[in-house]
Homo-oligomer: A and B are copies of this chain.
């Protein structure tokens, strides 16, 4: 049905070889024949088949964007969508296609994620929304397929990552709180198994340490990065240590939940307890009071992940671990 290179060759009275060369900018085709071929091609609405091209060239220019469990990760759209945008913008500007992959897809089809990718001859994968203890993670790390993870600090021959410098980010948030004079500072962390969680905890403790304050285990509680989680975590925290004067949350969403609880029990923010979040997600700007937070360059993470992957593919650079600096965004909650 679609018009092929043979059609335009016939119409232009040349061989398919010449058409191919004219299209790919070779210099051994006469200027008038080239013009004629291009004109004929335009008239016929010829579009070279990417799949035929992929077959003979043995490269698809197609890279996968793996979102662990798409449906289950819907709550994380505040983070994931921006990363996606960065990945796609960069990749497509470099001439690559990006196809969506989800672990659920693979499970339904009863093929492993890596089988899915090799069947489609994907040249690489960018992985996000996955936890370190996800059973798929091992597959990703051990695969020969070049990949780069977002917030997944796993390094191997074919696997790099980009993430925020979470220990310094957390330190930044804490230093701000400490500078305001707070001494009893609660910390609501995310999943214990999330890579970012261990780093943010480190940053929290380091900041306390260099301020000469001993870390109190009662002040630390784990949750799930989401609003409801932040709410119950805050309740727990306040019941354990009622005299805290500030809380540092490992995500803006949890901070929102926390503030909701604090409002409910009549605590004023920031007078009674100061709050800082993590992520710099749009919701934080709209909350009352507007949320002080540690910003994460989500879009850039996507861009850099794309760059690293392409570096591996085109200039076979070694994969590495790229850390993006965080920045403190001070608003009304502190």
Chain A interface residues toward B at CB < 8 A: 1-2, 47-52, 54-55, 58, 60, 62, 65, 70-71, 74-75, 77-78, 80-82, 84-85, 88-89, 92-93, 95, 97-100, 102, 104-105, 108-109, 115, 118-121, 227, 256-257, 260, 263, 282-283, 285-288, 299
Docked CA distance A104–B89 (Å): 8
Which residue on chain B has the smallest CB distance to residue A285? B227
Partner pick for A105 among B2, B60, B82, B92, CB 8 A cutoff: B92
Q: What are 11 A-to-B residue pairs whose CB atoms are below 8 Å?
A: A48-B119, A71-B89, A77-B81, A81-B81, A88-B100, A88-B102, A92-B105, A93-B108, A97-B99, A227-B282, A283-B286
Which residue on chain B has the smallest CB distance to residue A86? B71
Partner pick for A99 among B71, B98, B227, CB 8 A cutoff: B98
Contact indicator A74/B81 (Cβ below 8 Å): yes
Docked CA distance A257–B283 (Å): 11
A86 to nearest B CB, angstroms? Answer: 9
- By a CB distance below 8 angstroms, the chain B residues around A85 are 70-71, 74
A238 to nearest B CB, angstroms? Answer: 19
Known: A2-B118, A50-B119, A118-B47. A256 touches B97 (CB 8 A): no
Given A65-B100, A88-B100, A98-B99, 15 extra CB contacts under 8 A: A47-B118, A47-B119, A49-B119, A50-B119, A51-B51, A51-B55, A52-B55, A71-B89, A74-B299, A77-B82, A81-B81, A88-B102, A89-B102, A227-B282, A227-B286
Contact indicator A256/B286 (Cβ below 8 Å): yes
Which residue on chain B has the smallest CB distance to residue A1? B58
- By a CB distance below 8 angstroms, the chain B residues around A104 are 89, 92
Docked CA distance A95–B84 (Å): 23
A221 to nearest B CB, angstroms? Answer: 20
Which residue on chain B has the smallest CB distance to residue A3? B118
Docked CA distance A162–B55 (Å): 36
A67 to nearest B CB, angstroms? Answer: 8
Contact indicator A102/B92 (Cβ below 8 Å): yes
Which residue on chain B has the smallest CB distance to residue A58? B1
Partner pick for A283 among B58, B81, B283, CB 8 A cutoff: B283
Docked CA distance A59–B121 (Å): 16
Docked CA distance A123–B255 (Å): 44
Which residue on chain B has the smallest CB distance to residue A59? B51
Contact indicator A100/B98 (Cβ below 8 Å): yes
Docked CA distance A240–B257 (Å): 36
Partner pick for A82 among B74, B99, B109, B118, CB 8 A cutoff: B74
- By a CB distance below 8 angstroms, the chain B residues around A98 are 99-100
- By a CB distance below 8 angstroms, the chain B residues around A260 are 286, 288
- By a CB distance below 8 angstroms, the chain B residues around A84 are 70, 100
